[in-house]
Amino acid sequence: MYKTILLFLTLILIVPILHAQGSWIPQNPGAESYMMGLSFVDRDNGWALSHFGKIFHTTDGGANWELQKDLSVPPYYIPASMYIQFIDKMNGWVAGFWGHIDHTSDGGKNWVDQSPGSGSHFYKIYFIDPQNGWVVGQNGYIFKTTDGGESWNAQNSTTNDILVGVFFSDYQNGWVVGEEISEGNGIILHTIDGGENWIPQTSVVDTTFNDVFFVNSFEGWIVGRGGVILHTTDGGENWRRQTSGKDSDFIDMSFIDSQKGWVVGRGGVILHTTDGGENWYELDSGTEIDIFRVCFVDSLTGWAALFDGTLLHTTNGGVTFIEENPNLMNDQVKCYPNPFDQSTIINYELKIPGNVVLKVYDMLGNEVAELVNEYRITGEYETTFDAKGLPAGEYFVRYNIDGKLVTKKILMIK
């Protein structure tokens, strides 16, 4: 009956690890159980949380991890941990089963119990600053604090169902998502007064939701089962489904602005967008293990937490650079000269007709040129990338035919 609980607790099947050797680099903090939480405040400082309460800390981007604290032993006794959030190098919170909340103000060296006494399972906690935060969980529970977790006040969610995701864009505007137990449909709740009143919003799909993320008070996304990604530009008054191209369950997401975001889920799936979700591209994670958390601190630097207790790390946005892709049915992409000075010619051959998009990006993932965006028949084509006015350095030519991608690295020298 509790489908969402099963999503969190039963995905422990061991499958072969096929870690990528390029864009996503494996990291192993040493967890003995699957990773439930992941939080980075910059490129160096981060924390990972195992299901049984072990907190791992890194100060070098994950090159080295140390076991910082075990919350499953006295005096903490957290039976199962579900989420961790740090808002700076000092202040962090962990939420878990049986209503447990713990807080640190010294970067994770010491933790104190801040549980509100509900006894129900908490699934996610979200702080907007060191004082103001919300936690959501079973039985429709929503609690709010305005003093850093010293005290918690229950809010009326208007539901008794399972709430698993919460996000606030500011002190007043927030959203909560979850699962309606009786029907198995998704729940979307919205507040414009900090949670004093929660108002249901209408979904356009009949499925449960796992996460919600907003970049401001108007634009946000929801992810859920069956490859569902919903998008709104009016604070949730209207939700529109975006095409993900996948039918696997999505569990978590991370956006750094209104254009660039990542979604992760079952089967090692990682999707990436550079246009707010109008187009989603699958990245090569190199694994088939379910991915539970994703965290990016900028357009290049991110981490993903896997169900086998390991992590993946990328410093190039997760993009896989492939010289030849057999999925493109022998379509060839060549750039010459490379390296180049002012311009380079991009040549490609289509063995089958299709919609062709050819764009150039800089090292930060910003689009600097759109060279082709149209339907083309079979044949050989070439186009010129004129880099006048752009700084010297590495650029990436992304060739997309009907959703199949090849990315070429080119180098401009002056």
List alpha helices for 171-327, DSSP H.
none
For the chain, the structural domain boundaries read: 3-314, 326-412
More confident residue, 328 or 257: 257
pLDDT digits (tens, 9 = 90+) for 113-142: 999 988 889 999 999 999 999 999 999 999
Q: Is the dihedral of CA 119, 223, 317, 326 positive or negative?
A: positive
Q: What is the pLDDT of residue 402?
A: 66
Alpha carbons 73 and 198: distance in angstroms, whole number: 37
Q: Over the Cα atoms of the chain, what is R_g?
A: 22
DSSP summary character for residue 24 = S
Angstrom CA distances, 346 to 268, 340, 365, stand at 32, 12, 19
Question: CATH class for domain 3-314?
Answer: mainly beta
Mean pLDDT is lowest, of 144-153, 194-203, 227-236, 371-380, for 371-380
Query: How many helices (H) and strands (E) in the chain?
Result: 1, 35
**Structure pTM?**
0.74
3-state secondary structure 91-125: CEEEEEHHHCEEEECCCCCCCEECCCCCCCCEEEE
pLDDT classification of 12: cutoffs 50, 70, 90: very low
Alpha carbons 175 and 136: distance in angstroms, whole number: 11
Q: Which residues contact 148 (CB under 8 A, 6 or more apart)?
A: 91, 103, 130, 131, 133
DSSP summary character for residue 391 = P
Question: CATH class for domain 326-412?
Answer: mainly beta
Task: Answer yes or no: are the C-beta atoms of 240 and 203 closer than 8 Å.
Answer: no
Total residue count of the chain as it appears in this document: 414
Q: How many CA atoms lie within 13 A of 45 on its CB side?
A: 12
